[in-house]
Structure 1
Amino acid sequence: MTNKQKYKGLVLLGDRHAEVREFPYSEPKTGEILIQMKAAGICGSDLHFYRNTPEELGIRRAVVIGHEPSGIVEKVGPGVSIFRPGDRIAVNHTLGCNHCEYCLAGETALCSENVGIAAAGFGGDAEYALMPANTCFHLPQELSFIEGTFIACTGATVYNALRKLKPSGRDKLVVFGLGPVGLSAVLVGKALGATIFGVDVIPERLEMAKMLGVSEVINASETNPIEAVQSLTEGKGVELALETSGSPVAQSDAVDILRP
């Protein structure tokens, strides 16, 4: 256990300014654990906040950011029984109220009081962090801490969506948007057996999708995605589509591209 009195963490100040600051250690309270952080991902939402003005940052200003962390349990607070010091863990990126129907069903992202862990004051871009134990999960030894950050946000988001689609080796899946979430969908979709087509307008993302094993890539700035998929499927369309870009055009295409 550390004997330090302070730890370092990254905070956002607004207008593309960030700063490493020192924070005092705190003992974990009931239901909390103290984690020595080993890795933390940078999410697209972090970049949005980085570009915000101080006023736009609001409660996120000058608090430790980061909602995709993994690390080692340093100390557990009262009432925590599922974790012990030395456990390898990753942290789910959201907190719910813990008592509504969605939280009780494990769907904290649907909770009306849902908030990101950093906004709630539990940011992971630091040497150490206190976290509510009920938002943490054990990280298997065969997975690295970096892989744990993937599971903590992007990977879990994608897996939950694909779990509902239930892709198999019989299915063709079109992924619209090949940013971090879309590329993660490529990896998970392939692991579940589907044949993947990828759609984007950025050449570098299309190339990355090829490297990850996409069967066909479609540059939507040059080719109509619906026509391209119809050509690839003998006019039948595909069984599944996942839209990750937020584009209204892509959302419409994702519906129209499905086979009857």
Structure 2
Amino acid sequence: MRAAVLRGKRDIAVETDRAEPELRPDEVRVAVSACGICGTDQHIYHGHPGSAAVHPPIVLGHEFAGVVTAVGSAVTGFAAGDRVSVDPNIYCGGCRYCRSGRPQLCDRLQALGVTRDGGMGESCAVPAANCYRLPDEVGDVAGALVEPLGCVLHGFKKLDIRPDYTAVIVGGGFIGQLFLQLVRRQAGRVVVFEPAEGKREQLLRLGADAVFRPDDDEAVRAWNGAADIVIECVGRRESMELAFRTAGKGGQALLFGVSSPETEIAVSPFAVFSKELRIMGSFINPYTHEEAIALIRSRTVDVEGLVSHRFALEEVPEAMREYPRKNVTKGVIVFAAERARESGR
């Protein structure tokens, strides 16, 4: 089969003769239709860890959907032909975190596309327990993007959002746009700080009350200490420090953007103390897949409309190399079967 294989730091290549994955008794084989390119894939590509340590060679891709083509001997809940979205995270079930209802912190966490071959290939072996059937109303590209929406849901549920609260989202990319669609349903006002002028119209369409550039000193001063909720979706020092500046008394600061392990920020402990700030992190997507599918199916959240670039598998090496320069909001690898379906619509 064909697959985009990470061979080392900034070294990814499409192999055309990679062996089909062997199935364990509890697994299904999925012919991948679409696979999202996540910011975490970019981190891994540049030599940083993902949700766990990465040891090349490995097929990246932890956001994907496809069609079941074979089932293991112990699988009873799926059959060939089923369309599925995949939750990539595999928990051990036995560590203290799994046994206390915090599986996302699993001591032995594995993940498709991180510690096991993932969705940037034509076929993938997936534990049946990690597959979720897709309704007809949810296409394959949207099915691939269930996973990032599930991650956003996990962070969203940590927040106490009320109708009289003002929320600030720092970063108006794909993740910021997902948060915006959820937060706008509960908060009284939502403001986004985003440097790219090209995203302004989209952010306003999705429900932002105002969009400001983070280098707009007047806007930054105006929003100093004004937010009840701040959601940081970038992972850079400047954006995180901006998030803390905008957080007001009793504010909640959710650090969602993935930073490099070396990133450090300046935070005033006195501000945390005197404002009674709640600072939270959010890691992966523990059992949020079904809810994410329901939100997409009901059109409560638009995911496919946020896709800015679609790539063929052969384009992956260049796409990964040039990702920042291409101004990609969200990129998705679309495989031949899905391309055929799209052309027939």
* 1:241 equivalent in structure 2: 230
Cα distance between partner residues in 1 of 2:128 and 2:112: 12
Distance (whole Å) between structure 1 residues aligned to residue 102 and residue 84 of structure 2:
20
Relative distance call for 1:214 and 1:92 in structure 2 (3 A) is same
Residue 248 of structure 2 is aligned to residue 256 of structure 1: yes
Task: Establish whether residue 129 from structure 1 lines up as the match of residue 129 from structure 2.
Answer: no
**SS of the counterpart of 2:81?**
coil
2-structure distance, mates of 1:213, 1:17: 39
1:48-63 maps to which residues of 2 (within 5 A)? 48-52=43-47, 59-63=54-58
Matched residue, 2:282: none
Preserved contact between residue 175 and residue 197 of structure 1 (Cα < 8 Å): yes
Aligned residue for 2:74, secondary structure, equals coil
Give yes or no for the alignment of 1:210 onto 2:199: no
Structure 1 residues 102 and 59, CA, compared in 2 at 3 Å: closer, same or farther? closer
What residue is the counterpart of 2:178 in the other structure? 184
**Unaligned runs of at least 5 residues, structure 2:** 252-274, 276-345
Give the conservation status (yes or no) of the 8 Å contact 1:175–1:198: yes
Percentage of pairs with the same residue = 25
Separation in 1, partners of 2:63, 2:155: 18
Q: CA deviation at 1:156?
A: 0.8
Query: Which residue is equivalent to 1:220?
Result: 214
Which among 80, 83, 86 is matched to residue 81 of structure 2?
86
TM-score, L = length of structure 2: 0.62
The range that moved more, 28-37 or 7-16, is 7-16
User: Which residue does 2:140 correspond to in 1?
Assistant: 145
Contiguous gaps of at least 5 residues in structure 1? 1-6
Distance 1:94 1:81, change over 3 A: same
Offset, 1:202 = 3.6
Give, in angstroms, the shift of residue 145 of structure 1: 1.2
Distance in 2 of aligned mates of 1:19 and 1:182 = 30
Q: Which amino acid aligns with 1:240?
A: I
8 Å Cα contact 2:167/2:191 also seen in 1: yes
Query: In structure 2, what is the Cα distance between the partners aligned to 1:166 and 1:204?
Result: 31
Number of paired residues? Answer: 244
CA contact (8 A) 1:176 1:254 kept: no
> Residues 20-59 of structure 1 correspond to what in structure 2 (within 5 A)?
20-21=14-15, 22-52=17-47, 59=54
Farther off after superposition, 212-221 or 12-21 = 12-21
Aligned-residue offset at 1:28? 1.8
- CA 1:206–1:170: 2 relative to 1, 3 Å: same
Note the C-alpha offset of 1:76. 1.5
Partner Cα distance (1:207, 1:60) in 2: 41
**1:175 aligns to 2:175 (yes or no):** no
Cα deviation for residue 10 of structure 1 reads 0.8
1:197 corresponds to 2:191 = yes
Shift of 1:24: 1.9
Q: Is the 8 A contact 1:10 1:126 kept in 2?
A: yes
SS in 1 for 2:216: coil
Give distance in 1, aligned partners of 2:138 and 2:190.
Answer: 25
Change (3 A) 1:135 1:147: same
Give the structure 1 partner of residue 336 of structure 2: none
SS in 2 for 1:173: strand
Q: 2:28 aligns to what SS in structure 1? A: strand
- The 1:134–1:194 alpha-carbon spacing in structure 2 relative to 1, beyond 3 Å, is farther
Partner SS state of residue 125, structure 2: strand
Deviation track 1:136-180 (CA, whole Å, cap 9, x = no partner) reads: 22222211111112111x211111111222535554321122232
Report how far residue 27 of structure 1 moved: 4.1
**CA apart distance, 1:127:** 1.0
Q: Secondary structure at the match of 2:115?
A: coil
What's the CA shift for 1:75? 1.5
Write the distance in 2 (CA, Å) between the matches of 1:207 and 1:132.
41
Using the TM superposition, give the Cα deviation of residue 212 of structure 1 relative to its aligned residue in structure 2, in angstroms. 2.6
Q: How far is the alpha carbon of 1:206 from its aligned partner?
A: 4.1
Bigger relative contact order (CA 8 A; separation at least 6): 2
1:40-97 residue CA offsets vs partner (Å, 9 max, x unmatched)? 00011212333349xxxx8442221111010111111132233222221111132221
Alignment partner, residue 268 of structure 2: none
Is the 8 Å Cα contact of residues 243 and 254 (structure 1) preserved in structure 2? no
The within-5 A match list for 1:109-120 is 109-120=104-115
